[in-house]
Amino acid sequence: MQVSNKLTPFFENLNFERDDNTMVINFGPQHPSAHGQLRLILELDGEQVVKATPDIGYLHRGIEKMAENMTYNEFLPTTDRLDYIASTSNNYAYALAVEKLLDIEAPRRAQAIRTMLLELNRIISHLFFVATHALDVGAMSVFLYAFREREFAMDLMEDYCGARLTHSAVRIGGVPLDLPAGWLENAAAFCDKVDYEVEHTYGALLNENRIWKMRLEDVGVISAEDALSWGCTGPMLRGSGVKWDIRKEEPYELYPELDFDIPTSDRCDSYGRFMIYMEEMKQSTRIIRQLIPLYKETEPQLMAHSPQYISAPKEEIMTQNYALMQHFVLVTQGMRPPKGEVYVPTESPKGELGFYIKSEGEPYAYRLKCRAPSFFHTGLLQNLLVGTYLADVVTIIGTTNIVFGEVDR
């Protein structure tokens, strides 16, 4: 323990007096590069990290506990607060898990809208990644440009559901609203804009930038075997050369009908992952463009027809007695899915976001476990940081793209 006096003041974050000549640094939980509330206890030998201990839990809200005390529909807006950078992907993963449990399928128009929103959220999340990662490493201007486009994407989300950050844009069994007039044209224009900017702004600023490559190349190297063992998914896994994307391998919604590529990289380092994020944004715009004609061919039904679990459309509730009765029961008591358990994985922008739901036939889930990609990527840090230099720590935290809403839950 330090004894502080005027000559040796108390350093809150440093501990020098160790026998083995290493220094312990307390990184976070309020560090601006910690992407939220990450506390890292770093043991340094000179500037090299000898041991890293991630300490999490500063944003714990007990979301899994709340799920056991809320009906299935009540819980949906709470899932916004998991990965708050791309809320719709959480809403969707949860809604899909409950739909699998109920054995219902959303109508085709809802599927088209959901797929578009998911890809839009992927772009929002990836733009956020590029912006903050560049900012962490020291490239300020990319942050300004990327956040400009992110605003446009959030405007699109706002046009659809009225919210910019916590969307709740998906319901169990479908979507609550149809796309407003002119949304598709705006989305198409936005796709053109993103494609242009990825190529000519962020790409031009970063891809071949000498400093950027020096800071990212061969930093945070993880082999494919390690990545699998540590539970890495999404761009972290694809960055190690494993071509695994749940949208292709275990497809859901309209993904089987769409034509898109899965970018991978054999570099296994931060630069490879950065290039994957850049390429995925282009693939997402490609998906949205393909969905525009698909959407136009669909019937206008938005919610699945399953009177036992899903309320009828508002017109029916207001005109038909039986629909009103069922709506009343579903609102006051909540739906009661059959007894059983389900685990449904989806490809969120960060990786595999899965919901495990154990139902005992009650209106409240008996157990809900959210498999958050960032949780396992945070665990990986204790392996990834060892042997690297202090200057690279921020780059490596950035490249894992962790969001503490879903780490701590």
Partner 1 sequence: MRKYVPKDNVQKKAYYTDRFHVVPSVPRAEVTDAHFASVVTALGNDVKEAYIEIGQLVVHIDPTRNFDVMKTLKETCGYTQCSEQSAVDYLAKDNEFELFWQLLNITEAKRVRVVCRLANGAAIESIEPLFKSANFAEREMFDMFGIKVNNHPYLKRIIMPDDWEGHPLLKTYPLHGDEFASWYEVDKIFGKEYRDIIGPENRDPGKVDIKDTKRFSRIGYEVPFGAEYNADEEVPVEYSETALVNYNKKTSKQLDERR
Which residues are at the interface with partner 1 (CB under 8 A)? 56-57, 60, 62, 64-66, 68-70, 100-101, 103, 225-226, 228-231, 233, 242, 244, 249-250, 333-334, 336, 338-345, 352, 354, 356, 358, 360-364, 366-367, 369, 371, 375-376, 378-380, 382-383, 408-409
Comparison of 23 and 228: residue with beta carbon closer to partner 1: 228
Which secondary structure element, helix H or strand E, spans residue 303, and what is its range? none
117, with CB counted inside 10 A (0-12, 13-18, 19+), is buried
Nearer to partner 1 by C-beta: 129 or 244? 244
Residues 205 and 139 sit within 8 Å (Cβ to Cβ): yes
Shortest Cβ distance from residue 248 to partner 1 (Å)? Answer: 9
In the complex, least distance from residue 236 CB atom to partner 1, rounded to whole angstroms:
12
Task: Pick the closest to residue 33 from 337, 398, 294 (CA basis).
Answer: 398
Of 64 and 158, nearer to partner 1 (C-beta) is 64
Which lies closer to partner 1 via its Cβ, residue 202 or residue 230?
230
Minimum Å distance from CB 250 to partner 1? Answer: 6
Closest CA to 401 of 226, 236, 160, 272: 236
Nearest to 113 by CA among 198, 173, 194: 173
Q: How far is the CB of 181 from partner 1 (least distance, A)?
A: 36
The distance of closest approach from Cβ of residue 65 to partner 1 in the complex, given in angstroms and rounded to an integer, is 6
Give the whole-angstrom CA distance, residue 284 versus residue 280.
6
Instruction: Supply angle C-alpha 118, 123, 127, rounded to 5.
Output: 150
From the list 295, 125, 292, the residue with the least C-alpha distance to 194 is 125
**Residue 299 CB coordination number (10 Å):** 8
H-type alpha helices, 103-174: 108-137, 140-161
Residue number with CB closer to partner 1 (198 or 368): 368
Separation CA 136–CA 154 (nearest Å): 23
Give the residue among 360, 340, 370 at the shortest CA–CA distance from 62. Answer: 370
Our CB check for partner 1 shows the closer of 32 and 62 to be: 62
Between 228 and 292, name the residue whose CB sits nearer to partner 1: 228
Question: What does the radius of gyration of the chain's CA atoms come to, in whole angstroms?
Answer: 23
What secondary structure does DSSP assign to 261-293, as a single string? -----SS-SHHHHHHHHHHHHHHHHHHHHHHHH
Q: How far is the CB of 383 from partner 1 (least distance, A)?
A: 7
Smallest distance from the beta carbon of 225 to partner 1, in angstroms? 8
Shortest spacing between CB 228 and partner 1, in angstroms: 5
Q: Which is nearer to partner 1, 41 or 294 (CB)?
A: 41
Cis peptide before 29 (omega within 30 of 0): yes
